[in-house]
């Protein structure tokens, strides 16, 4: 039971490059989320998805693009990476909304030089 996986685990890229972070879950959860974790800010929601082809912005969506063509995958793309996007990115999923837990992936540490 793989659960929720993220790839790559570590990524170094240059300013202005496009980079895609992958998230895959094996539970067929409807809801998926992307967070970033920064010192002093905790975790902040970037985008979320309620189902395939349904996505919406979170607290800090600027500079990011998401898609969800399949229930199990939720990639996050930085269209033109900036140094301020250096962070640890976590993907999460949840079976339903309401009083249901979110389960988190191991994270991707992204450094933009």
Partner 1 sequence: KQEVTQIPAALSVPEGENLVLNCSFTDSAIYNLQWFRQDPGKGLTSLLLIQSSQREQTSGRLNASLDKSSGRSTLYIAASQPGDSATYLCAVAIVGGATNKLIFGTGTLLAVQP
Shortest spacing between CB 76 and partner 1, in angstroms = 15
* Strand, helix or coil for residue 83: helix
How many of the other CB atoms lie within 10 Å of CB of 46?
23
Nearest approach in angstroms of CB 104 to partner 1 is 4
Is position 103 an interface residue for partner 1 (rule: CB under 8 A)? yes
Helical segments of the chain, H only: none
8 is a site residue for partner 1 (CB under 8 A): no
Quote the strand ranges of the chain, DSSP E.
4-7, 10-13, 19-25, 31-38, 42-51, 54-57, 64-66, 76-78, 87-94, 103-104, 108-112
Minimum distance from residue 30 beta carbon to partner 1 (Å): 9
95 binds partner 1 (CB under 8 A): no
Binding site for partner 1 (CB under 8 A): 31, 33, 40-45, 48, 50, 54, 56, 58-59, 90, 92, 94, 97-99, 101-107
């Amino acid at each position: 039971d793989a659960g929720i996986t993220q790839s790559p685990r570590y990524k170094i890229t240059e300013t202005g490059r496009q980079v895609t972070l992958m998230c895959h879950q094996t539970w067929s959860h409807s809801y998926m989320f992307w967070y970033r974790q920064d010192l002093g800010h905790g975790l902040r929601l970037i985008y979320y998805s309620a189902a395939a082809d349904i996505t919406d912005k979170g607290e800090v969506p600027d500079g990011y693009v998401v898609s969800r063509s399949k229930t199990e995958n939720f990639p996050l793309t930085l269209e033109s990476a900036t140094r301020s996007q250096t962070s640890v990115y976590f993907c999460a999923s949840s079976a339903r909304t309401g009083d249901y837990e979110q389960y988190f992936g191991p994270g991707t540490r992204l450094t933009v030089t």
